[in-house]
Amino acid sequence: MNNRRLTPERIRWLHTKSAALRLSPKYISIECAEIWRGEYFSRTGWCAHAPWDASPQWIGENFRKAITTSEYFNVPGAPSVDVEAFNIMQPASNTRRLAFCAEIAATYGYKTIEDIGRRCDVVFTEWHYLVDDIVILRASKRVSGGHSAWPESRKYQDKLIHIPLSSTDEELGLAIREAFSRCEAPGRQKINWPREETG
């Protein structure tokens, strides 16, 4: 049985920040998350969207803002989160998420906010901010009803990209583009990246 004692090193490792990246044929979005034994749309962190062909500089700059403003609310070793604080957070998080989705739908010509999630690829991100400045980018696969991260196994190591947050905005953006190119979808659905560059 694994030793799961909460050593100082493990406590530092458990503290994470996160942001979700979505790419559709029309837009790219970057969404800051707050961590409460699960990830929720941030009430105050950085979120942004742009046309799908946004520059690596824009992607990297906005991703940096999103992941650095992510917040971790768990207390390692505590039996649960602060229930009162969680009950205040959840509706506020949902309200901001719906407003952000409505803005994307209006900007890129979707009829409903449900439509914005169709045919999109997702990259999950993780930063153990008390340990080092390495951000893990996780390509996903589309499954019925959403997206799934690849299992933690040597077989799928090519689905992970590790990059220092101290990299330049352009380097971060290029790494994120590469992560999107490693996403997978069922059947004949086309992967959104890489695309033939225009202009």
* 159-195 tens-digit pLDDT: 789 999 999 999 999 999 999 988 877 665 566 655 5
CB 140, CB 122: distance < 8 Å: yes
Rounded Cα distance between 69 and 195, Å, is: 30
Q: Is the pTM of this model over 0.85?
A: yes
Give the distance, in angstroms, between the CA of residue 132 and the centroid of all CA atoms in the same chain.
19
40-78 pLDDT, tens per residue? 999 999 999 999 999 999 999 999 999 999 999 999 888
Q: Is the pLDDT of residue 2 over 70?
A: no
Identify the pLDDT of residue 183: 87
CB neighbourhood size of 15 (10 A): 15
Rounded Cα distance between 89 and 56, Å, is: 32
Q: What is the mean pLDDT of residues 2-15?
A: 83
CB 27, CB 1: distance < 8 Å: no
Predicted confidence band of residue 108 (pLDDT cuts 50, 70, 90): very high
Rounded Cα distance between 133 and 162, Å, is: 10
Q: What are residue 121's DSSP bridge partners?
A: 23
- Residue of 97, 29, 100 lying closest to 62 (CA atoms): 29
